[in-house]
Structure 1
């Protein structure tokens, strides 16, 4: 049922360490299973999106977000005859390299690593599956297929792409130097990621009380489906049913975005006339919203940035979370022996860049609550409640 432009597991560019094929699973199914069983994947349950782990049990985490991305991605992939298993593998792995405390932690760690190449969470996700996971006797990492690794590396600076090209000529860094696109499955995961976090940040934002249904009237995309939901179910206007009104509005918005992606992408694929995955990579971006939906999505993102991500309460927590990361980095860099043995061994006596990278690896792998416990252990202070 796969289209000619879809990635077929039998035609994969393979793994860095050759392996005998599994008797009952395709290569991409095998990738997905390795990701699900990885240590880094389990940690995602205690890594946050916008709201920190201690702020509530029902807010999204990196794990629930990844599952939502996978669900959306598979639904769209099925309609476009793309490879669902590859979409699922990329979706489940795309946030493995994220730090504790969401984007706040990432920004702080990037600042700490300024003199040693910075910190990119997409590159860190690749580093997790290529090197940091330790599950197999003959190699580090998960030894995933090229196509899954390509999809994980959503963004990459030119400097880091050049470094990847030196160690893996023609590998996952090459497309950034050639200015090509990743597979259609990877393009789809990028868009499913955007669709998912816009929707769940509305939900979490209203649940938290930081934004209201009335404020969302400024967002035409949401207001349309809010009105449709009420017209179809007038009882949702009652005070006790407003949360159901929110859910129904989000559900309708998600469906409309999914259908828009399917229709626009089908037209783009037909116009481009691509007949293979490599032809799709060379054709430019093909998976996307229609121009009208793209603009509506931008309006929604601007609203969330202004009213949720930059809300004073979120900013106060963000500042404290960044302080935790900065102080952890300084403490471990000064005394590497405070880290777990494997990271300490890699940092002690190493060149400054290698030592700093080991510290960054250790911190990036932390959950929110472990980072807070470590900070308290090393400083004696509690900046955030656990």
Structure 2
């Protein structure tokens, strides 16, 4: 990744790109929504398909010259069907949020009712936050996790749905560390005659590998990101039964997007093929085991985790019980100085600002891609705990930084002599 062609034209951008490669190589990515794609996916995403307009769908385009775009998009669709067992797949959404927009446009009218999880309890902006289009176009009410356990309150959700009478219930979350009972939420939706949208943006790879329950064939619509636990080209995806296929496709194009980003679709196709290999199931299972090991070690240091642990790829740490005067942003910044990159995050019952909340969220997908096992993730838990205990201590930050440098050398990322993964 020398970026020689870019450097010849634009040395400033080339320098920034090279700096980003160095940053990723020399830090531990623990933002739960981030991962490292293979060199093959990177190559596909930077391909000449960036030059091609392909409005429409395979076999029915509004432009000529789409024979190879058709071939690649159909490969992405077919592989997605194999991965998740879906009847119909749309791989064109530019992101998970736009995938959600596509579903809303397909079945809702402005002012219709959405019932979704509150952002501070682990929901997502595109599920109806007032700052997002969904919260501005639709009538949104939000449910919460149980204050005591940190788990979804399914009975409370059912009662709230009966009273609110939503047109669609949204499940799937951005900061919920437990497995989701999609069938139970579907039962709630059926009881109130609502659609059910399962947003698996964070767990697409875990679902594909069978280490998390699948909502495909259960929920009316399933959306997701294609660049988190699935390690494919950056973007979104919509899955549904054939009865909704035409409405979904027209909601994506021309309803909410113009031409698809065909170079991203190529990255999706390549990443999906990688995920269809047996090794991917091992990767997904290891990601979960690594998260559990991390969670156990953090708890051993007296840190409190929302829900007491994890079933998936992430842990959510509530700093208030053990470090009431420390904010998530303080810890995030100190950890980044030490080479561990995660994010400050709201926690259930949040009393601080979302810009400086009371928690931090950490994930293991990218560490697992680098080759980290449970023991390595336990050590990372030790390093995080040291920073949490003394975020303002420069000596502690320097000590942790030194060990992070050793770990990144031990588990190389984009190495000229060794592919990231086969």
TM-score w.r.t. length of structure 2: 0.27
* Structure 1 or 2: more strand by fraction: 2
Q: Could you say which structure has the higher helix fraction?
A: 1
